[in-house]
Structure 1
Amino acid sequence: MERIYVIDVMLAKKNGNEQLKNKISSISREFVYEETAYHLPVSFALTGIAVHDQKSAADVFTRTDNNPLVAAECLLAAATAAEGKEPAPYTGFISDTVIRKLGYSLVDGSILGLALIVGTPKSAGTASAICRELQEKYMLTFLAGGVIPSLSSSGVKLGLDYRLIPLGSKPLHSVYFVDIIARVAMMFGGVSPGDTHRLLAYAAERAKAIVVVFPGLSDEDVAFIDGMRVLGFPILSLDDYEGGDWIPSTPDEIVRTGMDMKGIRVTVTAIPIPMGCSPAFEGKSIRKEEMQVEFGGGRSPAFELLRMRNPGEIEDGKVTVIGPEIGSMKEGAAYPLGILVEVAGKAMKKDYEPVLERRIHNFINYGEGSWHVAQRDLIWVRISKEAFAKGVKIEHLGKLLASKFRMDFPQLLDAVAVTLVTDEQKVLAGKTEAEKIYRERDARIKGMRDFEVDTYYSCTLCQTFAPNHVCIITPERPALCGAISWLDGKIAYEMSPSGANQPVEKGALINAQNGEFEGVNRFVKKASHGEIERCSLYSVMEFPMTCCGCFEAIALMLPEVNGIMIVNREYKGMTPSGMTFSTLAGTIGGGAQTPGFAGISKNYILSDRFLQGEGGIERLVWMPSQLKEELKPRLVALLAARGHPDLFDKIADENTAPTIEDLTAFLARVGHPALAMKPLM
């Protein structure tokens, strides 16, 4: 009986592939995915061909030996062009910008792997349990087909914020999952379009991805899903799909089996509070109508502070609430809140306080019904009605914080105690004391300069996806993702000497203007596996730093106007370079060193070392208006201090200069200093 069933599955794959092949010939209009620089990513990655119509689709389908993934991608792109995207909750195609925003999460441990769930479960409860397990085990999960309405009907919250992403109503919409893997390979991994061998090797070795299949697939669906095996994805089936090359499993074992097969290791320790706790909930929002109570956010005084104590001064795990609990608070109202986390450990140092303090934001957001924004005395915290109904109290935020600090920093912390204050007078008094401590901290690190230290720090976290990328972090140049400062790198090394952040001795100076050092070059050559010989920290033209793909912005040379343009990843429009952010990013990622282009963090724009090799901030001629407004207070102050109080208004944006011709005219009209500087080329 099993042998007959295996033959049936094989026939389904064959018949389904023929059906997909026939459907390609029926495509009748041109099509394209918006918000990507990779055309139809699967087809582009496999062949290097930009598919946009029936002729090119048929060509690529033939070149890839009738690959069902290519067929599904072409058919869905054509259908979307003809009929439009499916309505909410379906996301459809995921843009390049979203993938780049996820980049850091894919390497910092908050996302350990990717999962695809496809088909129609016989039981909504079974699907819910599998999804919850994936959330708790730090997996980013994509959904396609009948599993989506099944989950929605049982009250499961879907969306990127919950790391349960509903791609589309049909199993074939799973191709959006595959094209993410293809783009990650090209964005971060340096895989060239058309290099099939490297693409398949990259997907199999580096993409920690599994596929879970429920019943109800057609012949087309079976052929399509089976095509994913070439990428090294284990395909685990429930019920109807035992046999063939798919792996039969049970609801209780399927997640563990898949993660074991891809070498994904995670230890989940339950926290004794009445709500789930996982990075899967970190991106959620709690809207006003969903909240039970809130704290801070400009409506009430609030602050957070982490302090080091001597061993023995605090009781590990102790949580104290001073003031009223949520049960006595009016629904929808704002109340004061003070969060004081006290930590002790033989390896703990005072310099670590602000770095650990920033984790309060992450940990509170890990709660399924708690939400946190900002830091220090600007925090804004909400508790949802749903969480309150389950019994969540202020006390449980303390338990969450105490547990997570101990779990995440076991070598550093021996004891953690948390005090939560809701009494207004005590909050105000604590806030005053906290602000004094904030000022003292800022004074310790304010004004630190690159030339004052002999050691910089590396970050190779992104080598998970970009094997040759090396980020060099200095006091005046944060990591290009914007997530790690020099102090963060220093502390990370001290806490984990064998980790991704390593000390880099500057060594002898080669070029002060460009920021090139013998020691940095030695380190970069070794850490990039010999691919990068030289690295200039302050130049976009000569040996710029490599890029992984999760940079906050791109700085690039515009030789036509003798200036530098910046575009941030949130900006979706066209730039004077004639390229969008996605197109630009697609040319410089994957650990490549690309003269004339540099991935940067937003804060680097405000540094005295910003592209010093080309003349610095005086070269800045264009940036999107949203980024310009975001940086305005600090940028205006910086320009005034540099002797250019009127330069801010001379920096163009998409409204004043959408094209290179407009930019040329604008800069001449306002008399931008870049026009009189030494030629870039």
Structure 2
Amino acid sequence: MEGIFLTDVTLAKKTGNEQLKNKMASISREFSYEDTAYHLPVSYALTGIAVHDRSTASDVFTKTGSNPLVAAECLLAETTAAEGKEPAPYTGFISDTVIRKLGYSLVDGSILGLALLVGTPKSAESAAAICRELQEKYMLTFLSGGVIPSLSSAGVKLGLDYRLIPLGSKPLHSVHFVDIVARVAMMFGGVSPGDTHRLLTYAAERAKAIVIVFPGLSDEEIAFVDGMRVLGFPILSLGEYESGDWTPATPSDVVRTGMDIKGIRVTVTAIPIPMACSPAFEGKSIRKEEMQVEFGGGRSPAFELLRMRNPGEIEDGKVTVIGPEIGSMKEGAAYPLGIVIEVSGKTMKKDYEPVLERRIHNFINYGEGSWHVAQRDLIWVRISKEAFSKGVKIEHLGKLLASKFRMDFPQLLDAVAVTLITDQDTVVAGKKEAEKIYEERDARIKGMHDNDVDTYYSCTLCQTFAPNHVCVITPERPALCGAISWLDGKIAYEISPSGANQPVEKGALVNAQNGEFEGVNRFVKKASHGEIERCSLYSVMEFPMTCCGCFEAIALMLPEVNGIMVVNREYKGMTPSGMTFSTLAGTIGGGAQTPGFAGISKNYILSDRFLQGEGGIERLVWMPAQLKEELKPRLVPLLAAKGHPDLFEKIADENSAATIEDLTSFLARVGHPALAMKPLM
């Protein structure tokens, strides 16, 4: 029946389940996925059993009542082991590292939900329209089966950068959509492997996911898709599949219908410019051969600056261009650019300027044909040839920025005006003035210490997925995701007093060395729903802060060498602990408090408060070489200022110490100070 419409879904499910069951018996080799701590994630989440061979697969299949999701996962894993991953553009299994990088986007509002498109659409244009609507409504979309070549034929750009992820050529590759939800539950939600009830509850209540089905599914594919209903995913049929359990829809209303069923709310106001605008485009890149023109990036002078003005001094929505427009610029050349944004509002404060200014980066990248990196006077902006061909001008960047600032900060800003400068002399003069303002800002916040304030700030954004996790942000300890500083938290609270960033009064000191305060303990206990009694801000050993899963790095003790190791999520190799980052991360996420382990931001390594409870930076014995090189320009002078000018070279990496035995020998040979410090245990 493959390739035609099926009108009896119930019969197809029965037939398909039997076919999947028979295929399970044909599994003949061992199989596993790389870059994950969760084995075959669906099977592992449902049963707690690590599946890697036919015998275990059969056991799990039986234990789960011949679950079609388990069957599809095992069959696909064996096929991948035998034949390798499908070539580009297909992604196949998506690593834990990628999911953790998405973690913050899943909770900060730039991704509101997940969608799966499976099957073969009647019309490539209608499928493209559905995908565009999902992008514009802040949905992260996964694709499997014939919809992928259909979209490619319609010129739709696919990939994680565009939030349209082509999993595989067959509908059964949709199991990678399900395994992502399973891993999110275990990574961020504190769901223990094998706790089926909690997994299903979590998926139904917290995973805002919908499934859109095109025609042409076989019996076993129908059975597999229908199996997703147990996770609370609504199945929306565009292929004339008739079932009381599937919701019929048309291409024009399927996205709205699915989002309504799952309670996903989004208000999107179109910006009147000739390119689409959505967070879906934020991760894209514009390569040199794709660009019409560029600005800054060391090739020409460029800067950006946001200034507060008094009410009445600026005209809301006014966009001014000083200098030539793109149409008079040479293709492929670099030109100067100044971006000056003036804002006013009754509740706007001067301290908010740098925080709002950093949003320029996000907003320009929301444009489908515009690209922005860096900040201040280091910015680099490109406009694509495709956008230029559609009529995009410098002026439209101004309209994009003015609109997004008003949309995203309606309670704060009453007026936004944007000036874009492409005249060389005016940019150079404006850049000098901007640099003076940057220096004034830095002087206001430079050297701020935890002891200088009585109030810290919380972040509970990640409670969307990790219900008991509470991040406490101090001037010297950024949020573990690296995205929010103390000043960001302070301003976020002032802008939105009922939001995720709340003031945390320090209260009486309990332990100065570990950074434990009565007020922080009270707040954390309440915000974690009574799960966490105590929290030390500067210790990895005693009552460390909880972890959600989107941390930039992990610090953990290595008692064999009396030191602390740090591994960042980009590092995929084995560490001296005998575990990869993925394995380590799988043990500490979901709002858990795990003595000996702490999720941290990279910048926290440079803080004077870094693991103060265990003796600070002198305990640091191992980091991946890439992370060492990234931090070197700031870490070397910091260590010298602390009286350890040679410590940087004494910190091992994977090249000098791959195992704990290697590390022991290396540290002894170089005379690392951790060996002479007080024992960790």
Please give the per-residue CA displacement for 1:272-293, whole angstroms capped at 9, x wherever unaligned: 0000000000000000000000
Structure 1 outlier segments of 4+, above 3 Å = none
Residue of structure 1 equivalent to 2:406: 406
Residue of structure 1 equivalent to 2:169: 169
**What displacement does 1:6 show?**
8.8
Residue of structure 1 equivalent to 2:342: 342
Determine the C-alpha separation between the residues in 1 that align with 2:533 and 2:448: 28
Q: Which runs of 5+ in 2 are unaligned?
A: none
Residue 9 of structure 2 aligns with an amino acid whose one-letter code is V
Q: What TM-score does the superposition give when structure 1 sets the normalisation length? A: 0.99
Residue of structure 1 equivalent to 2:629: 629
Residue of structure 2 equivalent to 1:378: 378
Count, aligned residues:
677
Residue of structure 1 equivalent to 2:592: 592
Q: Which runs of 5+ in 1 are unaligned?
A: none
Please give the per-residue CA displacement for 1:85-128, whole angstroms capped at 9, x wherever unaligned: 00000000010000000000000000000000000000001100
Residues 181, 207 of structure 1: 8 Å contact kept: yes
**Secondary structure of 2:664's aligned partner:** helix
Please give the per-residue CA displacement for 1:530-586, whole angstroms capped at 9, x wherever unaligned: 000000000000000000000000000000000000000000000000000000000
Matches within 5 A, 1:114-125: 114-125=114-125
**What displacement does 1:239 show?**
3.3
Residues 541, 597 of structure 2: 8 Å contact kept: yes
Determine the C-alpha separation between the residues in 2 that align with 1:607 and 1:572: 25
Residue of structure 2 equivalent to 1:324: 324
**What displacement does 1:499 show?**
0.2
Determine the C-alpha separation between the residues in 1 that align with 2:341 and 2:575: 46
Determine the C-alpha separation between the residues in 1 that align with 2:564 and 2:239: 59
Please give the per-residue CA displacement for 1:118-151, whole angstroms capped at 9, x wherever unaligned: 0000000110000000000000000000000000
**What displacement does 1:244 show?**
3.1
1:158 aligns with 2:135: no
Matches within 5 A, 1:39-188: 39-188=39-188
Residue of structure 2 equivalent to 1:535: 535
**Secondary structure of 1:241's aligned partner:** coil
Please give the per-residue CA displacement for 1:141-168, whole angstroms capped at 9, x wherever unaligned: 0000000000000000000000000000
Residue of structure 2 equivalent to 1:672: 672
Residue 644 of structure 1 aligns with an amino acid whose one-letter code is H
Residue 197 of structure 2 aligns with an amino acid whose one-letter code is H
Determine the C-alpha separation between the residues in 2 that align with 1:651 and 1:365: 37
**What displacement does 1:263 show?**
0.7
Residue of structure 2 equivalent to 1:572: 572
**What displacement does 1:266 show?**
0.3
Residue of structure 2 equivalent to 1:658: 658
Please give the per-residue CA displacement for 1:575-609, whole angstroms capped at 9, x wherever unaligned: 00000000000000000000000000000000000
**What displacement does 1:11 show?**
1.1
Residue 198 of structure 2 aligns with an amino acid whose one-letter code is R
Residues 6, 243 of structure 1: 8 Å contact kept: no
Determine the C-alpha separation between the residues in 2 that align with 1:403 and 1:473: 31
**What displacement does 1:7 show?**
7.5
Determine the C-alpha separation between the residues in 2 that align with 1:252 and 1:123: 12
Residues 143, 164 of structure 1: 8 Å contact kept: yes
Moved more, 22-31 or 220-229: 22-31
Residues 31, 52 of structure 2: 8 Å contact kept: yes
Residue of structure 2 equivalent to 1:389: 389
Residues 40, 51 of structure 2: 8 Å contact kept: yes
Residues 7, 242 of structure 2: 8 Å contact kept: no
**What displacement does 1:243 show?**
2.7
Please give the per-residue CA displacement for 1:46-103, whole angstroms capped at 9, x wherever unaligned: 0000000111111000000000000000000000000000000000001000000000
Residue 362 of structure 2 aligns with an amino acid whose one-letter code is N
Residue of structure 2 equivalent to 1:470: 470
Determine the C-alpha separation between the residues in 2 that align with 1:494 and 1:149: 48
**What displacement does 1:334 show?**
0.5
Residue 597 of structure 2 aligns with an amino acid whose one-letter code is F
Determine the C-alpha separation between the residues in 2 that align with 1:228 and 1:185: 15
RMSD: 0.7
Matches within 5 A, 1:231-242: 231-242=231-242
**What displacement does 1:654 show?**
0.3
Matches within 5 A, 1:278-677: 278-677=278-677
Please give the per-residue CA displacement for 1:413-471, whole angstroms capped at 9, x wherever unaligned: 00000000001111010000001100000000000000110000000000000000000
Residues 6, 244 of structure 1: 8 Å contact kept: no
Determine the C-alpha separation between the residues in 2 that align with 1:550 and 1:660: 27
Please give the per-residue CA displacement for 1:13-35, whole angstroms capped at 9, x wherever unaligned: 01111111111111111000000
**What displacement does 1:384 show?**
0.1
Determine the C-alpha separation between the residues in 2 that align with 1:622 and 1:148: 43
Determine the C-alpha separation between the residues in 1 that align with 2:463 and 2:243: 37
